[in-house]
Amino acid sequence: MAIIRPISDLRNHAGEISELCKQENQPVFITKNGHGELVVMSHGHYEQREALLQLYEKLAVAEAEEAAGVKGISQRKAVAELRRYMREKAR
């Protein structure tokens, strides 16, 4: 369920809102005069959302390439490249 707080709480209870964002791992919606004004979230939650958006962008590119008939690499080759990359990173 969405967490909604008035803007005065942001001023008077910033620490409480910060903890709420971290504990619930979801944004807190801040209202001003009964209307949406801001969204506050923990840094960790923001990073998760950004990573998810990047993944969606990559999937959209892959789908567009597939629709355009661009030839990809086989699963076997992709796995081999990933393993090689992981071995090099471990060094």
pTM: 0.70
Tell me the per-residue pLDDT of 20-61, one tens digit each, with 9 for 90 and over.
Answer: 999 999 999 999 999 999 999 999 999 999 999 999 999 999
Specify the residue for token string 């990809």. Answer: 72
Q: Could you give phi then psi for residue 69, rounded to 5 degrees? A: 85, 15
Residue 29: which H helix or E strand, with range?
strand 28-32
Burial of 29 per CB tally in 10 Å (0-12, 13-18, 19+): middle
The DSSP letter of residue 81 is H
Q: Which two tokens stand for residue 56?
A: 């969606």
Q: 26: closest CA among 55, 56, 46?
A: 46
